[in-house]
């Protein structure tokens, strides 16, 4: 694949050691490269949410002879539970072009050894704040090209959570010069701006959007005026703003059944939510259904009518994308990639600091009869299909992975 102008500019600014990788990356096929992914968690782990699903969707897009992926991750889920059904400390096939190493410990020697054996063209580091799966691979492992996927971690809303700890960690990155030595991956131009705001205009950023799962359209049936089946699928944490939904429901007068799915990431926050649930009026029914496996999401959405998640910040929002593709209008904030929802009859974007907007959005859908809601149901699906052009998205990853001729340029570790 020919070099893109963007990559040529990046090459020009790379340091003078860029041609000195210990050995050229192995390329079994002239149009194929090996990408080594470091991430804290991967399937069957799922409780870390978006980044896990993003990588699962990415590796599902490429056929044999295009990219060979090696994923190095922990053998545990976000809550510390040990993954079942997979072997540890060896390469396990995930699909016909992907293998996964579920590490039972944190040995940088093991990681370096396996990277040396695999001999990838690209090291793709998912995240910023993991010492073992983010920082150490960048500093200690030799790979021609290193790309850091920031995954929403530099958004203002994300930085506001545990802000002191994150500031210290980012200061370490700057002192190590990581932002000058390697490349970044942002999922949109807004996130590219956050990267350059944090690390300076000299930060070199590829833009490639998250690859979603597309669900089959689920036609709405039996929607009754004055009632609403509302659903959230998310990690239970302040970032997802479930408590704000509960505050809004306190003021809604119509019959609303609200189903919540997802692992509890912040126990104290969930305790606050439970107190709010107990104080809701009798016309509001809330059921917390616990964790939901990724394979269960499509069927779980089927009886629901509107998806709600007024997040303070979303790098993408896989659950929002999946719900829209199924035809579920979404109520969310302005801090996701899914904006102009009302103009497209696909949902409502609300200001998270304005509770009345959220109340009005819920009441708006609750008041609809079957005919009016069927229109929004269809338009939500159409909006999702327009927004999620899979060929275009894959082309952006092709640019990021393939534009650099294998073994001839990039960054030595």
| pLDDT tens figures, 15-67 | 333 333 333 333 334 468 899 999 999 999 888 777 898 899 899 888 767 88
Rounded to an integer, what distance in angstroms lies between the CA atom of residue 275 and that of residue 286? 12
Helix ranges restricted to H, 186-305: 189-199, 242-249, 267-278, 297-301
pTM of the model: 0.71
Distances (CA, A) of 99 to 59, 94, 118: 10, 5, 11
Identify whether residues 205 and 231 lie together within a single domain. no
* CATH code, domain with 342: 3.40.50.2000
Identify whether residues 19 and 52 lie together within a single domain. yes
In a domain, 277, yes or no: yes
In a domain, 29, yes or no: yes
Identify whether residues 139 and 67 lie together within a single domain. yes
What is residue 76's DSSP assignment? Answer: B
In a domain, 358, yes or no: yes
Identify whether residues 42 and 182 lie together within a single domain. yes
In a domain, 409, yes or no: no
For residue 351, give both structure tokens. 């200001």
Rounded to an integer, what distance in angstroms lies between the CA atom of residue 399 and that of residue 374? 39
Identify whether residues 10 and 107 lie together within a single domain. yes
- pLDDT, position 217: 97
Gyration radius from the chain CA atoms: 22
Please tell me the total count of domains within the chain. Answer: 2
Identify whether residues 205 and 255 lie together within a single domain. no
Nearest to 232 by CA among 251, 257, 211: 257
Identify whether residues 257 and 195 lie together within a single domain. no
Q: Residue 286's beta-bridge partner residues?
A: 258
- pLDDT, position 180: 83
Identify whether residues 152 and 114 lie together within a single domain. yes
- pLDDT, position 93: 95
Distances (CA, A) of 30 to 34, 105, 120, 152, 398: 12, 35, 14, 34, 14
Query: With a cut of 50, which residues of the chain have pLDDT below it?
Result: 1-30, 405-413
Helix ranges restricted to H, 200-266: 242-249
- pLDDT, position 91: 97
Give the three-class secondary structure for 20. coil
- pLDDT, position 413: 35
Domain boundaries, position 372: 227-387
Identify whether residues 52 and 37 lie together within a single domain. yes
Identify whether residues 162 and 277 lie together within a single domain. no
- pLDDT, position 316: 79
In a domain, 221, yes or no: no
Are 46 and 140 in contact by the 8 Å Cβ rule? The answer is no
């Amino acid at each position: 694949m020919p070099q893109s102008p963007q990559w040529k500019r990046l090459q020009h600014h790379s340091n003078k050691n860029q041609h000195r990788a210990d050995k050229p990356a192995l390329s079994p096929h002239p149009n194929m490269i090996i990408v080594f992914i470091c991430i804290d968690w991967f399937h069957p782990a799922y409780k870390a949410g978006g980044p896990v699903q993003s990588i699962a969707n990415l590796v599902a897009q490429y056929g044999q002879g295009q990219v060979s992926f090696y994923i190095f991750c922990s053998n545990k889920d976000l809550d510390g539970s040990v993954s079942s059904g997979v072997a540890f400390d060896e390469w396990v096939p995930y699909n016909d072009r992907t293998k996964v190493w579920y590490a039972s410990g944190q040995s940088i020697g093991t990681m370096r050894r396996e990277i040396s054996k695999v001999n990838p063209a690209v090291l793709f580091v998912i995240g910023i704040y993991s010492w073992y799966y983010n920082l150490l691979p960048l500093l200690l492992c030799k790979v021609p090209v290193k790309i850091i996927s920031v995954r929403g971690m530099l958004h203002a809303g994300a930085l506001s959570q545990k802000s002191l700890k994150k500031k210290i960690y980012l200061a370490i990155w700057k002192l190590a010069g990581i932002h000058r030595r390697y490349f970044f991956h942002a999922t949109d131009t807004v996130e590219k701006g956050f990267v350059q705001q944090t690390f300076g205009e000299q930060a070199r950023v590829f833009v490639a959007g998250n690859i979603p799962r597309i669900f089959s359209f689920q036609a709405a049936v039996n929607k009754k005026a004055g009632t609403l089946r509302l659903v959230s699928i998310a990690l239970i944490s302040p970032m997802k703003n479930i408590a704000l939904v509960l505050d809004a429901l306190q003021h809604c007068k119509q019959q609303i059944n609200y189903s919540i799915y997802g692992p509890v990431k912040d126990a104290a926050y969930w305790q606050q939510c439970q107190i709010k649930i107990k104080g809701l009026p009798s016309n509001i029914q809330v059921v917390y259904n616990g964790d939901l496996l990724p394979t269960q999401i499509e069927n779980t959405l089927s009886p629901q009518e509107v998806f709600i998640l007024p997040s303070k910040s979303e790098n993408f929002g896989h659950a929002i994308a999946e719900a829209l593709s199924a035809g579920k209008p979404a109520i969310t904030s302005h801090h996701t990639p899914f904006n102009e929802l009302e103009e497209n009859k696909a949902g409502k974007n609300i200001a998270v600091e304005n509770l009345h907007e959220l109340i009005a959005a819920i009441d708006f859908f609750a008041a609809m009869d079957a005919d009016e809601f069927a229109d929004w149901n269809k338009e939500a699906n159409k909006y999702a299909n327009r927004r999620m052009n899979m060929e275009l998205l894959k082309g952006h990853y092709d640019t990021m992975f393939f534009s650099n001729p294998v073994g001839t340029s990039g960054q030595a570790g």
